[in-house]
Structure 1
Amino acid sequence: MSKDDKQGLSLIEKAAARLNKTPEGKVEEIPEPVPVLAQKPAPEKQRNENAAPVNIDISLLKAKGFVTPDGERSNLAEEFRFIKRPLLANAFGRNSDLVDHGNMIMVTSSTAGEGKTLTTINLAMSIAMEMDKTVLLVDADVGRAQIHKILGTPLGPGLIDLLTDENLNVSDVILRTSLPKLRIIPMGRFHPHANELLAGQGMLRLIQELATRYSDRVVIFDSPPLLMTNEAVVLAGLMGQIVFVVESDKTSQGSVKEALSLLDTSKPIGLVLNKASQHREVGYYGYDSYAYSENDGA
């Protein structure tokens, strides 16, 4: 077991102690070779990145007020340009202070209904407009998945299937889309212990694989709110950067402080203020002004 694996397992054991540990040291018997003619054919891959791309209706998203890759300048598009710059600099900048696994970005909030998923989609769209960046959008809000509804993409197979089916690989659940630089891993099928899966060893291995195998991509996770499930805190510990969404004039200061206290403040934590009461262009979902600031660890 590598040093990184040991550190990752230590984190999971501390933050999700109720999870059952996988027994170690068990030696499995090697079965006798099966004649070639008697072997069953390998299961057919359910999906891979060579499949036909899933169409995303850009005109519909634009009508609903989302950032779209048509080059049109708007207040919302400019605000997300401002939000994404420090994230990209931390992940791919030329200085020596690059964030470890900085391409792994989690978008979260303290409670539900603060605009977290809408912020996630807009951020993914904005980064996908970069000339040299491909975005992998992962729907990890397993209790309240919305990305497939908004983008009109299939619900699965996806993340949950990947964590529960050892025959699946990452490439089997990645959706290519009609936007050349946007890929999606949907939530997948319902599972009664979906939240617990986010804190399991399978998720740790997946994060490590995505961070290394897709190191040239920006991987954005739409996660559960921090105060609604302990597993979201574990997931945050595996990320390189955190984007924390706060709904203006609604989210209490106490909730924000409590949620932020659960995060590792040695990592970059961007604060996005959603629905701020300023006189700017307002989208269909009530988007208004966004503010981004680096958490100083205080």
Structure 2
Amino acid sequence: MKLPPSLLEVAPPGETGFADINLVRMRQRGMITHESGRTSVAEDFRIIKRHLLKDARASGTSAIPHGNLIVVTSALPGEGKTYCAINLAMSISMERDARALLVDADVARPSVLKVLGLQAERGLMDVLLDGSVELSDVIMRTNVPSLTLLPAGPASRHATELLASRNMTRLLEELANRYPDRIIIFDSPPLLLTTESSVLVSQMGQVVVVVEAETTTQAAVRDALARIEHCPNLNLIYNKSRAFPGSDYYGYYE
């Protein structure tokens, strides 16, 4: 029996930590790839990433601490934050002088690898729980040379404490400073669903909040923003607006 093509191809024997993403299928699902061309979604995320990259690379008095750590979140589930995080990471990976690391930090309900059709047994939680596990043990290389993935790892009832721990602070310092050309995109839990999201957001250099058009209430957006009002570098993506027939529109606001 011939199996249908999937997003994950089996890695060669002996080669672990490698994910071969089926980019053709990604394009069929309306997601960005290096071969997407000038689609409306690709162009929208080019606009979105340009501002984020400028702030990530700012220097001197304009420098943002951990500006290359960018978290993507939302008020509620289902607003498209994971879709936006994946597209943003893919768009950044197209830069000539940048590499993207996409981290699934929605540790209660991880979905990045699920959306991509990939599987992984270890990830972020393993690094935080076990001092013998290194980042290099759990980061997955992909067939997109400038894109790597860090899965969420196993669920933990102590996720909030782990994300607020000194181990997490050290890990973020390593991610932010080890490779100056690396931009790290975190897919965070929704702000109004868990406490983990607020803890994670507080440690990021830049925050992107995805708002679903015509669905998310103003009250929900206000409540979500109130939880991260201490974050100075906050941006909004207005997602799923049918501004043009037959296409999604991504509005971007500082």
The residue identity in structure 2 corresponding to 1:194 is A
Gaps of 5+ in 1: 1-49, 283-287
d(CA) in 2 for partners of 1:79 and 1:224? Answer: 23
Alignment: residue pair count:
240
Deviation at 1:293, TM superposition (A): 1.4
- Residue of structure 1 equivalent to 2:19: 54
Q: Deviations over 1:149-185 (max 9, x none)?
A: 1223222310011111110111111111000000110
**SS of 1:191's equivalent?**
coil
Q: Which has the higher mean CA deviation after the structures are superposed, 160-169 or 211-220? A: 211-220
- Residue of structure 2 equivalent to 1:227: 192
Deviation at 1:52, TM superposition (A): 6.4
- Residue of structure 2 equivalent to 1:171: 136
CA-based RMSD of the aligned residues comes to: 1.7
d(CA) in 2 for partners of 1:175 and 1:264? Answer: 33
**Contact kept in structure 2, 1:128 and 1:135, CA below 8 Å:** yes
The residue identity in structure 1 corresponding to 2:103 is V
- Residue of structure 2 equivalent to 1:10: none
- Residue of structure 2 equivalent to 1:274: 239
Deviation at 1:207, TM superposition (A): 1.1
TM-score by length of 1: 0.76
d(CA) in 1 for partners of 2:164 and 2:243? Answer: 39
> Relative to structure 1, is the Cα distance of residues 54 and 134 closer, same or farther in structure 2, using a 3 angstrom cutoff?
same
Gaps of 5+ in 2: 1-14
Q: Deviations over 1:59-113 (max 9, x none)?
A: 1111111011115111110000010011000011467412111100000001111
The residue identity in structure 1 corresponding to 2:118 is T
d(CA) in 2 for partners of 1:265 and 1:281? Answer: 38
Alignment equivalent of 1:212, drawn from 177, 186, 189: 177
d(CA) in 2 for partners of 1:245 and 1:81? Answer: 16
**Contact kept in structure 2, 1:223 and 1:232, CA below 8 Å:** yes
**SS of 2:250's equivalent?**
coil
> Relative to structure 1, is the Cα distance of residues 194 and 155 closer, same or farther in structure 2, using a 3 angstrom cutoff?
farther
Query: Runs of 4 or more off by more than 6 Å in structure 1?
Result: none
Q: Which has the larger radius of gyration?
A: 1
Deviation at 1:281, TM superposition (A): 4.6
**Contact kept in structure 1, 2:107 and 2:154, CA below 8 Å:** no
d(CA) in 2 for partners of 1:69 and 1:232? Answer: 30
**Contact kept in structure 2, 1:174 and 1:184, CA below 8 Å:** yes
The residue identity in structure 1 corresponding to 2:112 is I
TM-score by length of 2: 0.89
- Residue of structure 2 equivalent to 1:289: 249
Higher percent of residues as strand: 2
Identity among equivalent pairs (%): 45
Alignment equivalent of 1:121, drawn from 67, 86, 90: 86
**Contact kept in structure 2, 1:155 and 1:189, CA below 8 Å:** no
The residue identity in structure 2 corresponding to 1:80 is F
Deviation at 1:241, TM superposition (A): 0.1
**Contact kept in structure 1, 2:17 and 2:138, CA below 8 Å:** no
d(CA) in 2 for partners of 1:281 and 1:103? Answer: 34
The residue identity in structure 2 corresponding to 1:115 is G
